Chain A
Amino acid sequence: MKALRMFNRSLRDSIKSVVRNLSLSTAAITCSSITLIILAVAMILSYNVKNITSNLEKELTIVTYIKESGTEEQITQLKEKLNEMPNIEKYEYKSKEEWKLEIKNFSDTYSSALDYLENNPLLNSITVTVKDVKDLKITSEEIKKFDFIESVDYGEGMAEKLISAFDIIEKITIVIVGALVVVTAFLIGNTIKLTIFSRKNEIEIMRLVGATNIRVRLPFIFEGIILGIIGSIIPMIVSIYGYVMIYDHFHGYIFSQIITLVKPFNFILYIAGILVVLGAVIGMIGSSRAVRKYLKI
């Protein structure tokens, strides 16, 4: 009962304090809002970059051409092998007749050229999509081991360059977002600390009238959480509405169908959730640490 009473009174005091120290509260909220907006933009960008690179990576496939002499049994043998290989996401068999049909549909010139030839010069093929593109080369060499394979093509050289570029981009975005989280925590934490430092008399008086350490700390902790949450409201609104507007404006993709944006829902709601949790946690830790300093008398 006493604990519940203390909880309620601390919550009430913290709300009162936010209102009565309006200028300091506004400063802390503004600082939280600005830093969280920057963080939200960085998170949205980095997630979209990751989405684009993984979409592009999905386009990287291994096209395996089977020799003219390759038998049905050998093709079945290859399919069984592909089923066993851990890095294979899926594969698609395409016979030389299917290829011919596809090429004929693609262009009239090719169509007449193919009609001119007596035999179909094309080869049966299997297009393999891998799980991890970093092992594209290893997987293709594994497939190449069969003697009935004519050639294996995965864009050697260019594919590796693309993969390493994607890798670097991904790491850079993770570092940027990580650094921004640290900077945000530092800025919000310190602003809330400043609001509490200016009220050290209040803490002193609370202790003098016989308040327990937890009774002194609780209202400040709640205040930190409240300031953090209020500070995250504007960034949440900005990121939700802003992202939906941008998504609608570009119709979901930039330049080409390959560079697509992440669908706003539920992605942007997760971002909003992260912002409010970050605001509250940083506010809580900042205020709790600031008060602790004055309890060591």
Chain B
Amino acid sequence: MRLIEVKNCYKVYQNGVTAIADLNVTIDKGEFVFIIGASGSGKSTLIKMLYREEKPTNGSVIVGGINVAKLRNSKVYKLRRKLGIVFQDFKLLPKLTVYENVAFALESIGLNGREIRNKVLKALESVGLKEKIRSFPNQLSGGEQQRACIARAIVNDPKLLICDEPTGNLDPDISKEIVNILKKINEEAGTTIIMATHDREIVNEMQKRVLQIENGVLVRDEQKGSYKVHESTPNV
């Protein structure tokens, strides 16, 4: 079943730079997809369009039945509640504890206290962070912060998890740990995972679908792909 449909999509920034050019791609429910490409290739723009941080200039980006190109500012929350987002820089609220950070996502959608408590504890347990619920983000290691970020992203049982270079700030061992958590979420909950990454080792090891973008153009869409560099681009 189709979850994401990107059709004839263009993104041209105000300064004239074309970040995405005529992109067509579909992603089904339950898939684990890597988006790779050099810095400035357009993969972050694509990721941002999926959660409506950016709007396509032309064409359509449909996520879970919502056309992000037509989504008004005041209605963005409807899309965001259907998905979870994991960032390279974690984006945890520094003045809230781990528990509060994760609970905040549920409080935003108005769940009651008991439901929130159950879901938050379950999410933190699934990422192995139950012992740190009272810690503040600056008291955690990078890997722990990223796990808290994943817990926040999955706490509402989203159908789609968007990960924008989640291992970019982490050392190789911790990166593997994070990817294993994502893999577990994908396999156990059937959550679709889209992960932009530069991590060659992880892509090669996972053998999942790979979308390679260079200069805003989709140059490779391969099932069970590996981290190959396109002939026309320098090695990264």
Q: Are A206 and B108 in contact (CB under 8 A)?
A: yes
Q: Are A208 and B73 in contact (CB under 8 A)?
A: no
Residue of B nearest to A12 (CB): B107
Q: Which of B74, B93, B108, B152 contacts A202 (CB 8 A)?
A: B93
B:46-84 near A, CB below 8 Å = 51, 53, 73-74, 76-77, 80-81
Q: Are A211 and B108 in contact (CB under 8 A)?
A: yes
Query: A57-77: contact bitstring with B at CB < 8 Å (1 yes, 0 no)?
Result: 000000000000000000000
CB contacts (< 8 Å) of B108 on chain A: these are 206, 209-212, 215
Q: Which of A2-10, A103-111, A175-183, A185-193 forms part of the interface with chain B?
A: A2-10
Q: Which of A16, A17, A207 contacts B76 (CB 8 A)?
A: A207
Q: Are A210 and B81 in contact (CB under 8 A)?
A: yes
Query: A271-297: contact bitstring with B at CB < 8 Å (1 yes, 0 no)?
Result: 000000000000000000000000111
Q: Does B85 have its Cβ within 8 Å of any Cβ on chain A?
A: yes
| Total count of chain B residues near the partner, CB < 8 A | 22
Q: Are B95 and A17 in contact (CB under 8 A)?
A: yes
CB contacts (< 8 Å) of B210 on chain A: these are none
Size bracket, chain A contacts = 20 to 34
Q: Which of B77, B92, B93, B112 contacts A5 (CB 8 A)?
A: B112
B:99-149 near A, CB below 8 Å = 104-105, 107-110, 112
Q: How far is the CB of B49 from chain A (nearest CB, A)?
A: 13
- Known: A202-B93, A296-B73. Is A5-B110 also a contact (CB below 8 A)? yes
Q: How far, in angstroms, from A253 to B132 measured CA to CA in the complex? A: 66
Residue of A nearest to B106 (CB): A209
Q: Does B230 have its Cβ within 8 Å of any Cβ on chain A?
A: no
Q: Are A2 and B93 in contact (CB under 8 A)?
A: no
Q: Does A205 have its Cβ within 8 Å of any Cβ on chain B?
A: yes
Q: How far is the CB of A289 from chain B (nearest CB, A)?
A: 17
Q: Does A26 have its Cβ within 8 Å of any Cβ on chain B?
A: no
CB contacts (< 8 Å) of A5 on chain B: these are 110, 112
Q: Are B91 and A295 in contact (CB under 8 A)?
A: no
A:20-37 near B, CB below 8 Å = 20-21
CB contacts (< 8 Å) of A21 on chain B: these are 95
Q: Are A297 and B74 in contact (CB under 8 A)?
A: no
Q: How far, in angstroms, from A122 to B154 measured CA to CA in the complex? A: 102
Q: Are A211 and B93 in contact (CB under 8 A)?
A: no
Q: Are B53 and A297 in contact (CB under 8 A)?
A: yes
Q: Are A208 and B109 in contact (CB under 8 A)?
A: no
Q: How far is the CB of A16 from chain B (nearest CB, A)?
A: 8
Q: How far, in angstroms, from A6 to B95 measured CA to CA in the complex? A: 20
Q: Are B80 and A210 in contact (CB under 8 A)?
A: yes
CB contacts (< 8 Å) of B91 on chain A: these are 201, 204-205, 208
Residue of A nearest to B111 (CB): A5
Q: Does A48 have its Cβ within 8 Å of any Cβ on chain B?
A: no
Q: Which of A2, A20, A201, A210 contacts B105 (CB 8 A)?
A: A210
Residue of B nearest to A21 (CB): B95
Q: Does A127 have its Cβ within 8 Å of any Cβ on chain B?
A: no
Query: A36-51: contact bitstring with B at CB < 8 Å (1 yes, 0 no)?
Result: 0000000000000000
Q: Are B109 and A210 in contact (CB under 8 A)?
A: yes
Q: How far, in angstroms, from A296 to B53 measured CA to CA in the complex? A: 11
Residue of A nearest to B54 (CB): A297
Q: How far, in angstroms, from A206 to B51 measured CA to CA in the complex? A: 14
- Known: A208-B80, A297-B73. Is A6-B152 also a contact (CB below 8 A)? no
Q: Does A173 have its Cβ within 8 Å of any Cβ on chain B?
A: no
Q: Are B77 and A212 in contact (CB under 8 A)?
A: yes
Q: Are B95 and A209 in contact (CB under 8 A)?
A: no
CB contacts (< 8 Å) of B104 on chain A: these are 206, 209
Q: Are A208 and B107 in contact (CB under 8 A)?
A: no
CB contacts (< 8 Å) of B76 on chain A: these are 207
Q: How far is the CB of B54 from chain A (nearest CB, A)?
A: 10
22 contacts between A and B (CB under 8 A): A5-B110, A5-B112, A6-B110, A16-B95, A17-B95, A21-B95, A205-B91, A205-B92, A205-B93, A206-B104, A207-B76, A207-B77, A208-B91, A209-B105, A209-B108, A210-B108, A210-B156, A211-B77, A211-B108, A213-B73, A215-B108, A297-B73
**4 additional A-B residue pairs with CB within 8 Å, beyond A202-B93, A209-B108, A212-B108:** A5-B110, A6-B110, A16-B95, A201-B91
Those 9 A-B pairs whose CB atoms lie nearest each other, nearest first: A211-B108, A210-B81, A209-B105, A210-B80, A20-B95, A2-B110, A210-B77, A212-B77, A205-B91
